[in-house]
Amino acid sequence: MRTQADVLLRSDVAALDSKQKAEFVDASLSAFADNSIHVRDYWSLYKRYQKFRHPGLAKQLQQHIRNHSLPDEERIEAVVMADACDLRELLPDLVGIALTTDEIQELRLWAAKAVSRLGDSELKARLKPLALGNAGLDRNHALRGVGLEACWPRALGAEEMFASLKELEDRSDGHYRTFLREKLVARLSVDDIPVALTWAENQPEEYVRHFGKFEGLTYSILEEAAKHLADDNILGLFARTLLARLRKHEFSHGNEANRLNEIFQSNAEQRLKVVQAMLPLFEDRSRDAWCLARRGVKLVGPEDLQWLLEQLRVTTSPELQMNLCHLISWVFFPDNPGLINSVIETAQVHPILADVMKHWFAPIELDSEQAKKDRDWILQEKRWREEAERQQQPTLLAPPPADRIVSLLDKFDGGDLDAWWHLTLWMERNLGRANFDTVQVFVEVKGCWHPEVKKAMKTQLLERYLAKSGCHHGIYLVGWFLCAAWKGRHPDRKAVRFSSLEELDRFLAKQADRLSGKEAQLHAVVLDARIGSPKRRKTSHARTRGRQPH
């Protein structure tokens, strides 16, 4: 059975009796330990583990898990099997492993994930040291991410949790990134929103949403808080935080402001309350007014000019009047005679407006240099608006899509292989990304003699190329050249560390399994490059071990 564990893993083990299942479990774990098992579809295997259940499985796996003399791979697979079979009686052991700093991180990580998935609130609360980063070495904050998911919010208060957050170290921080992006705000209660806003207000500039040090968390907090602006306490903190983030150039790229704009568009009254709450907070009046009027978040626009003028008429505070005048100056454009008259009439009552908008009110000689500059500026502004409107109009494709597709397919059928990628690229660019998936893949290539062939999948492909690029897919391609035709004492031949292509394939397959996760999918490919043998390629599909169990 030990020599056939790879085959038996794909067989129907449900028909075995308890004794046979126990023998099979031992054989499978030993096979993982000596690298003699090759798995192509890990999650299918994960589900098959559920068929291994027998009355003594928990005690059997416990012996493997507690035995520190066994290889790490064997103990890891025992934890995975316990998780797949929902063996909750082993969770106290798994909590101990997760918190033991002497254990290797992968074993601790799988134990913590099992506790997070299967444990009750008391057991999950014991993972709090992981959530707070107080449990030893934690590469890429992986243990922290699982601990936070287990403890937030029942075992971890908002103030304590936000105070403990650390910046992402790189793009490979999978579990921690997932928590920041998907879990934290989704579990945020209304009572905790003020704490979250206070934290967001004081964070450094992030520039682009999902490339910041906290995976766009400040954006997500503001979007969640915007749903609760009827609460005056949240409204005031929201206004302060949003202004702070606008000053730090956020919501300025692409569609980052779309969600906030959708909320404000559906409730103009609430939007103007936010503007009112921001006015007393102005520091650099002209710059802050520009942030409200010209950043990506559509807080105030030309359609609000009459409202701004009315606020100026009824406001008695000189400070607020000055802030309103600067906001009006950024919103106003002389393209509507009615609005022009309203601004002139208000300026006659409030000379401060004429002073702030003196570039509009000061008399100009028609043949002066200033008049020429103003005229050119207005014409340029008009051209920009017309160009923006033109770009928003749909563009007809020529030739029509059907004709272009038929033409490229005909070329491909005629032997023009380049026509295929021309077709797929054109369809992606012109028919919408929503309908076509593009996968970016990094390929790291090595010869079987390379001194780093055992390490480069991790040190180069995963940690250097994927982690720093944001790409999630990698292929580790190794050419196998060792054959009878490669004679002599060439140093490269001596450097080969594997006795056969099959041994190399098994080693790389298992390594790809271990390194793959939700944020990075690795595939190991061994290319048979031997002279005199049929050309064939062995592909080892990685198991997505890093994926959170459902």
The predicted structure's pLDDT at residue 425: 77
Quick one: average pLDDT of 271-295? 95
Place of tokens 């033109």: 390
More confidently predicted of 1 and 417:
417
The predicted structure's pLDDT at residue 207: 65
pLDDT band at 139 (very low <50, low <70, confident <90, very high): confident
Residue 517: CB partners within 8 Å, gap ≥ 6? Answer: 174, 175, 544, 545, 546, 547
Question: Which of 309, 401, 295, 299 is closest to 346 using CA atoms?
Answer: 309
More confidently predicted of 217 and 533:
217
Phi-psi region for residue 139, left (φ > 0), alpha (ψ -120 to 50) or beta?
A: beta
Quick one: average pLDDT of 487-499? 74
d(C-alpha 338, C-alpha 5), whole Å: 84
Least confident residue range of 62-76, 232-246, 251-265: 251-265
pLDDT band at 419 (very low <50, low <70, confident <90, very high): confident
Quick one: average pLDDT of 200-222? 84
pLDDT band at 185 (very low <50, low <70, confident <90, very high): very high
Quick one: average pLDDT of 76-102? 95
Strands (E), 379-536: 441-447, 473-480, 521-528
**% of the chain at pLDDT higher than 90:** 50
pLDDT band at 550 (very low <50, low <70, confident <90, very high): very low
The predicted structure's pLDDT at residue 392: 67
Quick one: average pLDDT of 124-131? 97
31-72 pLDDT per residue, tens:
777 766 655 455 566 677 888 889 999 999 999 999 999 999
The predicted structure's pLDDT at residue 389: 76
More confidently predicted of 401 and 167:
167
Q: Is the pLDDT assigned to residue 512 strictly greater than 80?
A: yes
Q: Is the pLDDT assigned to residue 513 strictly greater than 50?
A: yes
The predicted structure's pLDDT at residue 211: 67
More confidently predicted of 212 and 215:
215
The predicted structure's pLDDT at residue 55: 93
Q: Is the pLDDT assigned to residue 539 strictly greater than 60?
A: no
Q: Residue 523 in contact with residue 475, Cβ under 8 Å?
A: yes
CA atoms within 13 A of residue 25's CA, in its CB half-sphere: 32
Q: Is the pLDDT assigned to residue 521 strictly greater than 80?
A: yes
Residue 139: CB partners within 8 Å, gap ≥ 6? Answer: 105
Q: Is the pLDDT assigned to residue 405 strictly greater than 50?
A: yes
The predicted structure's pLDDT at residue 435: 46
Is the bond into 153 cis (omega within 30 degrees of 0)?
A: yes
Q: Residue 200 in contact with residue 245, Cβ under 8 Å?
A: yes
362-397 pLDDT per residue, tens:
787 888 888 888 888 888 878 887 887 777 676 666
Least confident residue range of 94-103, 107-116, 540-549: 540-549
For the entire predicted model, the pTM comes to 0.66
The predicted structure's pLDDT at residue 24: 82
More confidently predicted of 174 and 195:
195
Q: Residue 320 in contact with residue 357, Cβ under 8 Å?
A: no
Average pLDDT score over the chain:
85
Helix (H, G, I), strand (E, B) or coil at 119: coil
Question: Which of 280, 292, 276 is closest to 242 using CA atoms?
Answer: 292
**% of the chain at pLDDT higher than 70:** 86
The predicted structure's pLDDT at residue 313: 94
Q: Is the pLDDT assigned to residue 534 strictly greater than 80?
A: no
Q: Residue 147 in contact with residue 161, Cβ under 8 Å?
A: no
More confidently predicted of 547 and 453:
453
More confidently predicted of 37 and 164:
164
The predicted structure's pLDDT at residue 499: 86
Chain centroid to CA 143: how far? 17
The predicted structure's pLDDT at residue 487: 66
Phi and psi of 424, rounded to 5°? -65, -40
The predicted structure's pLDDT at residue 434: 44
Q: Is the pLDDT assigned to residue 171 strictly greater than 60?
A: no
7-29 pLDDT per residue, tens:
566 666 666 788 888 988 888 88
pLDDT band at 489 (very low <50, low <70, confident <90, very high): low
Q: Is the pLDDT assigned to residue 301 strictly greater than 80?
A: yes
The predicted structure's pLDDT at residue 541: 38
Q: Is the pLDDT assigned to residue 348 strictly greater than 80?
A: yes
The predicted structure's pLDDT at residue 208: 66
Q: In Å, how far are 329, 540, 541 from 509, measured between CA atoms?
A: 64, 5, 7
Please report which helix (H) or strand (E) contains residue 469, including its range: helix 467-469
Least confident residue range of 5-14, 91-100, 289-298, 478-487: 5-14
d(C-alpha 405, C-alpha 399), whole Å: 10
Amino acid, single-letter form, for residue 72: D
